[in-house]
Chains A and B, each alone.
Chain A
Amino acid sequence: QVTLKESGPVLVKPTETLTLTCTVSGFSLNITKFGVTWIRQPPGKALEWLAHIFSNDEKSYSTSLKSRVTISKDVSRGQVVLTMANMGPVDTGTYYCARMTAGYCSGGRCRMHWFDPWGPGTLVTVSS
């Protein structure tokens, strides 16, 4: 059974750096067709994609957040870590991680990913 679970602080002060960990089980982070992504949802707003990382360590970031966000993985621990610098009240929300599965892979490059399953999410509040 594939599961993911987010962990990290529930409360962060403005200007601090948020570090969230996604612990996965049931699959390996070094399998070509899989990756892990982070998505968040501010209260009452839409889902927002933040970043992803693939088995070959290829990373991608949201255009609006790329200067503040870093994603990394530890295959041996089955963990993917997201850090977000200079947190502000607008960053309050539920943060999810999810497994990415590729529709097809060719020449070592995979495409047409979907997110399944998702972790239960973790609510992060930014407040002094």
Chain B
Amino acid sequence: DIQMTQSPSSLSASVGDRVSITCRASQSISIHLNWYQHAPGKAPKILIYAASVLQTGVPSRFSGGGSGTDFTLTISRLQPEDFGTYYCQQSHSSPLTFGQGTRLEI
């Protein structure tokens, strides 16, 4: 199985800050990497697929990059509604796997 490791596990930031979350795959997954936001009490929501493609309707302050084994999710100007847990997920090969999550506290 491909292991996905996120860092940090948690972080605290303020409104307006720029934050980045990294995700590392245990083997190369090309750009087969997705990012999700999971707000408390809600279903997870896709933010970015194929490493850098912003899903329709997602604010442009979210961006993704990377390929191979190392990926980054960046939120350029944090808003209060951005708190929650962020997950990366590889879609390169089955079994599909998630990272352990990064909890973002505003």
Does A68 touch B at the CB level, under 8 Å? no
Q: Are B87 and A49 within 8 A (Cβ)?
A: no
Measured in the bound complex, the distance between the Cα atoms of B36 and A113 in whole Å is 13
CB of B56 to closest CB in A, whole Å = 10
CB of B40 to closest CB in A, whole Å = 11
Q: Are B50 and A112 within 8 A (Cβ)?
A: yes
CB of A99 to closest CB in B, whole Å = 10
Q: Are B89 and A46 within 8 A (Cβ)?
A: no
Identity of the chain A residue whose Cβ is nearest the Cβ of B29 in the assembled complex: A112
**A103 partner residues in chain B, CB cutoff 8 A:** 49-50
* Count of inter-chain pairs, beta carbons less than 8 A: 70
CB of A24 to closest CB in B, whole Å = 14
Q: Convert A94-106 into 0s and 1s, putting 1 for each residue whose CB lies closer than 8 angstroms to a CB of B.
A: 0010100001000
> SS class of chain B's interface: helix, strand, loop or mixed?
loop
Q: When A47-B87, A96-B43, A114-B46 are in contact, do A60 and B99 touch as well, CB less than 8 Å?
A: no
Interface centre among B38, B46, B92 (most CB of A within 10 A): B46
* Number of interface residues, chain A, beta carbon within 8 A: 25
Measured in the bound complex, the distance between the Cα atoms of B36 and A37 in whole Å is 15
Given contacts A114-B49, A118-B45, 12 further A-B contacts (CB under 8 A): A47-B101, A48-B98, A103-B49, A103-B50, A112-B49, A113-B91, A113-B96, A114-B46, A114-B50, A115-B36, A116-B45, A116-B55
Which residues of B pack against A, CB within 8 Å?
A: 1, 31-32, 34, 36, 38, 43-46, 49-50, 55, 87, 89, 91-92, 94-101
Which residues of A pack against B, CB within 8 Å?
A: 37, 39, 46-49, 52, 60-63, 96, 98, 103, 111-121
